[in-house]
């Protein structure tokens, strides 16, 4: 066996031992994680991507057989690709949208508040529903 082959075998063995040790450590942590608890993810900031990220989480949950729901504040009656797709693909999934749409379009504080309160009641109901694994409150803030 050449020196190069010996070095390669040693490096491969060293890597294998390192990965085995890492796997044992990760497996032990997973075995200890017996408490199920919820997670809240808040996405903020200017620009695109917050809703897309939220819908990505919804799709991931659905892909894993979990129950999901969506409540959209602000988006309004106008169609969105996410809503159109999900309502076709998963028609039983709860999907509630604030009826008045963007507040800068309506410019009516009373109407906007009433619409927000109505859709918030849907959100409260879904938050209390133990069957829902993932709930997206899109544009809540």
CATH number at residue 128: 3.40.50.300
**Total tally of structural domains belonging to the chain:** 2
Would you state the pLDDT for residue 4?
62
78: left (phi over 0), alpha (psi -120 to 50) or beta: beta
Q: Is residue 127 part of a domain?
A: yes
Q: Is residue 58 part of a domain?
A: yes
**What is the Cα Rg of the chain in Å?**
23
Q: Give the domain range for residue 30.
A: 1-35
- Do 54 and 104 share a domain, yes or no? yes
Averaged pLDDT, groups of 10, the chain, 141 residues long: 64 91 94 88 88 94 97 78 91 89 71 88 96 94 81
Q: Is residue 59 part of a domain?
A: yes
Would you state the pLDDT for residue 10?
86
Q: Is residue 45 part of a domain?
A: no
pTM of the model: 0.75
Structure tokens at 120: 């918030």
Q: Is residue 42 part of a domain?
A: no
Would you state the pLDDT for residue 3?
60
- Do 57 and 97 share a domain, yes or no? yes
Would you state the pLDDT for residue 19?
95
Q: Is residue 131 part of a domain?
A: yes
- Do 5 and 69 share a domain, yes or no? no
């Amino acid at each position: 066996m050449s020196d190069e082959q010996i070095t390669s075998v040693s490096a491969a063995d060293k890597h294998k031992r390192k990965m085995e040790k890492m796997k044992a450590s990760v497996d032990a942590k997973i075995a200890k994680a017996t408490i199920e608890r919820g997670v809240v993810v808040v996405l903020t900031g200017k620009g695109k991507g917050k809703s897309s990220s939220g819908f990505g989480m919804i799709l991931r949950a659905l892909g894993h057989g979990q129950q999901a729901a969506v409540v959209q504040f602000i988006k309004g009656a106008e169609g969105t690709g996410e809503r159109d797709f999900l309502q076709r693909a998963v028609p039983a999934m709860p999907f509630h949208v604030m009826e008045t749409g963007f507040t800068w379009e309506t410019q009516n504080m009373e109407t906007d508040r009433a619409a927000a309160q109505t859709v918030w009641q849907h959100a409260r109901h879904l938050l209390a529903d133990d069957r829902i694994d993932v709930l997206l409150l899109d544009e809540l803030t």
